[in-house]
Structure 1
């Protein structure tokens, strides 16, 4: 917890006397976003964390003349409660008693009040309903520039300036020229002459490039404008080494490289001169959207987003392959950890996470972690997005549950897996709760569903066993995952909340399957696999619509010590045994080849049928 009084006072001073003689505002919104609406941020863009002290990946801060409030979802209630000082009020988003930001403004602000926000840091999808709600309350929403947090943030980190690297078609499966032709085909179908691309993972995927401007996310800061004749690439040219230009030539494309900051002027010019529509996603910033004349705006998810979500055969093969190698490292880690605990060798959350990272780094095609490892012992496991710090670090022992949520980036794919284990004697409550979570995880993993069904409709399948006993978890059940890209990837997902751009599930999409249960202050349980959407092997196909199911690509045992077999149906028990048989048959030859007898013994024991 850090003291925020000084920063809040400075911000309120600017709100009362805005730069450039813009007058004053009564409230200022500090979103989590950067100018590309990224989930994870570079250090210089962590403005909400700077002003509030809360550094979770999701949340919105609102500062008025007398109040400071932070909205965040169930993943972060505990973390925010610990990190916010007494100047802040925690608004538990998703709770029935918590008003939305729109509703809070309507009820708390006086008519005539002005609310400001940096229009680069708020999507058009978020701006529109907020502006409507404020207008209904007699208030106004104003774009404020420059960003007020930047004006008060002393020693704000510099913008990252790291080199961009090419990714071979050996891994991408499709050259840029082919992707460009497909995008232009989609533009012609929509009668659009310009496509605006601001999401960093879309740009990296489209150009077969990767970067490191944001930790754990192999992306780089850039924009793309696609026309029917040109491809404009807005980027700091110092990041482009000669290999990048060779890469473009090899891919038969010649982007027109422009400075990163020139995108606004170029978009305004292209939009005004265009005789047809300009395609921009509602997920792009409001600052970009307002550069396009209203009558020319076409709001829709970009074709790149949809193309990226459905992995091609090369990408799908890479995703499966990297999860096998990742499984080797995971088994080595959990086997090593168990031996340490049995032999009274001290291991804590931080040293455990470091050992897992070391083991992953030995795997072929390893490029780094895909997020900060959640290595959580005992009560820390109940903090859904916990990551160990020296102040919170706990030993891993045989007396408490241990939750490990981790993943890696490989040049052929991205991994994300959670396993919850107990290295001693779990309590009846822990076993019971774990089994309920497992029942939901198996139910979703074995579900059959029609092609193009929205992921939201599958969420209840994973929660039912918990709901039957009045239990639940405060996060989504599944997220898309990138191919050597962001560990969280849209536009599809599985959760209670509607994902507005969800196109429906299709073959070769990859998602997580991760129900959980968290008892605050005691333990946390989550079981997470990555699954591939595949054709279902059933008699009917929903009257020609197509039948789909999931194939689990994660390769790591689920600890059967924590399973109450009496609570499993025959189908659930068979499913778990079949999964463990696949894991054993897939990983055992690799461990034999590596002469890793200790891990092989652990694997064979942990995958015995129940």
Structure 2
């Protein structure tokens, strides 16, 4: 597919940048971030502004348009995709490479001294704004808020803002009532000596009030703000979205949650500040627009307490996450058993395969939808880390090329995310070598023992060493947190070569992904992804009584042994794989037989034969 022609819209945008009917003063650069007003990773169609202006559709990136140049920053997951989707008007800035300038440094170098940079203040975190402003000011430039988004003015036929029904999720899935969660929040509020806390992250609000929605595809959240004081709790939302059961659930709590219009958040904060002299707790991930609603001297700015509450799953959530992964594995076994037969015919494609997988998931109990768009990718398409099949790129699934499938489901009792790489014919020696090194990384993380509260980035090397040994690597993180019927990517912890600024340290009850990979541009891609749960480790010693932890793998889908060169694995690694496969056979096999999926069960048994 040809890249989007952006010449016309860039010309129109540059005209708006000079028109003081739309901007407070003439601006010489305009920054278009990826996020929405809640700093969401995945966003609704109406908020896809960066995609509209640049043509690049990946989930992460920042576009910067000056009077004469347009540049886009994105990370290693999207280098290839961005280079294919953007036209000649754009410069691709590869984040993560030592030679790549930051947006601020590039602007400082590109703009004439005294230039003005504009940004919609709702679309960037306050901390990001502060750092950008500080660096640009030191170079003689300034940053100003542009409250009327310029892309929205240009965007003809912009999709409507979603306003889908909001419904409650029962305590039998959440493990805690809203009252219990509010009690925990108020304890933290008192510790900080604050009069109020304001929530802007959509998944935090959904978690706090035990509500779910569908305003953003694949993410069971809804557009809202929330605030909690010592005695009251508020939800700022389009009230028409609340189902009767959602209204009842909010009224049942004592004292009940008060519902106010979404747009009232600014007036509400202003009135609360006027009524008291105390301080307001704002998340450090709040937008600059929300941050400036509270005077600097009255702010407490730090990570929201709900971020850690939802990251550490309670016993009910843990049970739900584990059982939902068994059901999800059953769906994947049905799919791969079916696909193995169909690949020989060559009649199915990436898209029809993804559709078939969704049908198998829909048969499982508590299924609520996909947790992200399925990455169903063949051969060279699999080398694009976050590739999604489209009619113009759709390849047939055959016995000639590697097939990479990264997919997940939303269930009332859990969220799943699993990647498997398979070859339905005969893999090359190089493909087996790469696959075996990726598998060694998976096992290296899965079996490691580490001190409680260690930062996740300390474990990242374990996933990469076998690749590094031969000069290979991958351009994405090794692990992300995952929600319980919430966002498939969940902070504040993670595993990456990059430091997670808010990482509180790895703690018992957290769930993360374990997903090293390798990608040969234009040829193939390999990734193996499991979700792992942090559990206590049984160690003979306990240095300074710190306590040690390890991982329990909860994803239970066979890893294709055809792709493995057993001579590259240690005895410990082979034992881990054989033990893992026996657990897959026992737990998933029992469910498949109970559901009457004999063919999938037979496939499972075949794929879990021990290797030696």
Q: Separation in 1 of the partners of 2:166 and 2:532?
A: 30
Structure 1 alignment gaps of length 5 or more: none
Match in the other structure for 1:457: 458
Unaligned runs of 5+ in 2: none
1:148 aligns with: 150
What is the CA distance between 1:431 and its match in structure 2? 0.2
Q: CA–CA distance in 1 between the matches of 2:307 and 2:596?
A: 43
Aligned residue number for residue 171 of structure 1: 173
Give 1:77's aligned residue: 79
Following superposition of structure 1 onto structure 2, how do residues 305-344 of structure 1 map, counting pairs within 5 Å? Answer: 305-342=307-344, 344=345
Give the SS at the match of 1:257. strand
Q: CA deviation at 1:265?
A: 1.6
CA separation in 2, counterparts of 1:291 and 1:574?
57
User: How far apart, CA to CA, are the structure 1 residues paired with 2:61 and 2:20?
Assistant: 25
Q: Offset at 1:21?
A: 6.6
Correspondence 1:95-494 to 2 at 5 A: 95-342=97-344, 344=345, 346-494=347-495
> Using a 3 Å threshold, how does the CA distance of structure 1 residues 254 and 428 change in structure 2: closer, same or farther?
same
Distance 1:97 1:28 in 2: 23
State the match for 2:50 in structure 1: 48
C-alpha displacement at 1:341, in angstroms?
Answer: 2.1
Distance in 2 (alpha carbons) for counterparts of 1:521 and 1:107 = 34
Map of 1:540 onto structure 2: 541
Q: Deviations over 1:298-323 (max 9, x none)?
A: 11101111101100100110000000
- The answer as to whether partners of 1:122 and 1:285 remain within 8 angstroms in 2 is yes
Q: Note the C-alpha offset of 1:271.
A: 3.0
How far off is 1:109 after superposition?
Answer: 1.6
Measure, in 2, the Cα distance between the counterparts of 1:496 and 1:272. 45
Q: Counterpart of 1:270 in 2: which secondary structure?
A: helix
Give the superposition deviation at 1:19.
2.2
Separation in 2, partners of 1:149, 1:18: 15
Deviation at 1:273, TM superposition (A): 3.7
Separation in structure 2 between the aligned mates of residue 21 and residue 249 of structure 1, nearest angstrom: 43
Provide the aligned C-alpha RMSD in A. 1.0
CA contact under 8 A between 1:280 and 1:298: conserved in structure 2? yes
Normalization by structure 2: what TM-score?
A: 0.98
Q: CA deviation at 1:399?
A: 0.6
Tell me how far 1:272 sits from its aligned partner. 4.3
**What are the Cα deviations for residues 168-220 of structure 1, in whole angstroms up to 9, with x where unaligned?**
00101000001001100100001111101000000000000000000000000
Q: Give yes or no for contact 1:194–1:271 (8 Å, CA) kept in 2.
A: no
Structure 1 residue corresponding to 2:39, chosen from 37, 40, 52: 37
- Match of 1:576? 577
The structure-2 alpha-carbon separation of the partners of 1:16 and 1:324, relative to structure 1 and needing over 3 Å to count, comes to same
Alignment deviations for residues 66-112 of structure 1 (CA, whole Å, 9 cap, x no partner): 00110000100111011101111111111122111111112222211
In structure 2, how many angstroms separate the alpha carbons of the residues matched to 1:25 and 1:224? 34
Distance in structure 2 (CA, Å) of the matches to 1:312 and 1:213: 26
Partner of residue 88 from structure 1, selected from 87, 90, 111: 90
User: What is the Cα deviation at residue 345 of structure 1?
Assistant: 5.3
Change (3 A) 1:45 1:20: closer
Deviation of 1:246 (Å):
1.2
| 1:499 alignment counterpart | 500
Q: What is the number of residues matched between the two proteins?
A: 609
Conserved? CA contact 1:176–1:253, under 8 Å: no
Sort the Cα spacing of 1:246 and 1:518 in 2 relative to 1 into closer, same or farther, 3 A. Answer: same
Inter-partner Cα distance in structure 2 for 1:68 and 1:488: 29
Instruction: Confirm or deny that 1:561 pairs with 2:562.
Output: yes
1:212-269 per-residue CA deviation (whole Å, 9 max, x = no partner) reads 0000000000000111122121100101122112112333341121110110121123
Q: Aligned-pair distance for 1:61?
A: 0.2
Q: TM-score, normalised by structure 1?
A: 0.99
The equivalences for 1:7-18 within 5 A come to 7-18=9-20
Q: Is the 8 A contact 1:272 1:293 kept in 2?
A: no
Is the Cα–Cα contact under 8 Å of residues 434 and 562 in structure 1 kept in the other structure? yes
The reply to whether residue 508 of structure 1 matches residue 484 of structure 2 is: no
CA contact (8 A) 2:194 2:279 kept: yes
